[in-house]
Amino acid sequence: MDFKQQRSEMVERQLRRRGIHDPRVLAAMGALPRENFLPPSERASSYVDDPVSIGYGQTISQPYITALMVECLELKGGEKVLEVGAGCGYHAAVLASLASEVISIEYVPELAEIARANLEAAGLSHKVRVICGDGSTGYEAEAPYDAISVAAGAPEVPEVLLAQLKDPGRLVIPVGSRDEQELLVISREHGKDRTRVATYCRFVPLRGREGWV
Ligand code: SAH
From the alpha carbon of 91, which atom of ligand 1 is closest?
7
- Report yes or no on 48 lying in a domain: no
Residue 21 half-sphere exposure toward CB, CA atoms < 13 A: 1
Q: Which amino acid is at 14?
A: Q
Q: What confidence score (pLDDT) does residue 165 get?
A: 98
Q: What is the CB < 6 Å shell around ligand 1?
A: 54, 58-61, 84-85, 87-88, 90-91, 105-108, 111, 134-136, 151-152, 204, 206-208, 211
| pLDDT tens, position by position, 147-167 | 999 999 999 999 999 999 999
Domain assignment of residue 7, yes or no: no
Cα-to-centroid distance, 188 and ligand 1 (Å): 24
Average pLDDT over all residues of the chain: 98
Backbone angles phi, psi at 161, to 5 degrees: -75, -40
How far, in Å, from the CA of 1 to the mean position of ligand 1? 30
Alpha-carbon distance 40 to 157, whole Å? 35
DSSP state of 8: H
pLDDT tens digits for 179-207?
A: 999 999 999 999 999 999 999 999 999 99
How many domains would you assign to the chain?
1
User: Nearest CA to 30 among 78, 66, 54?
Assistant: 66
Mutate to test the pocket of ligand 1, among 37, 107, 136 (most ligand atoms within 8 A of CB): 107
100 is catalytic: no
Q: Note whether residue 30 is domain-resident.
A: no
What pTM value is reported for the model?
A: 0.98
pLDDT of residue 1: 74
In a domain, 78, yes or no: yes
The answer to whether residue 4 is domain-embedded is: no
Residue 48 has what pLDDT?
Answer: 98
Return the percentage of the chain with pLDDT > 90, whole number. 99
Query: How would residue 213 be classed by pLDDT, with cut points 50, 70 and 90?
Result: confident
In whole angstroms, what is the distance from residue 181 CA to residue 190 CA?
A: 28
Domain boundaries, position 154: 64-201
- Closest atom of ligand 1 to CA, residue 111: 13
pLDDT tens-place string over residues 72-126: 999 999 999 999 999 999 999 999 999 999 999 999 999 999 999 999 999 999 9
Give percent helix, percent strand, percent coil of the chain, each to the nearest 5: 35, 30, 35
Options 61, 97, 149, 187, the catalytic residue: 61
Give me ligand 1 centre to Cα 138, in Å: 12
- pLDDT surpassing 80 at residue 57: yes
Average pLDDT over residues 63-71: 98
Cα 86 to ligand 1 centre (Å)? 5
Q: What is the CATH number of the domain that holds 113?
A: 3.40.50.150
Task: Cis check for the bond before 144: say yes or no (omega within 30 of 0).
Answer: yes
The β-bridge relationship of strands 101-106 and 58-60 is unpaired
The DSSP H or E segment spanning 27 is helix 23-31
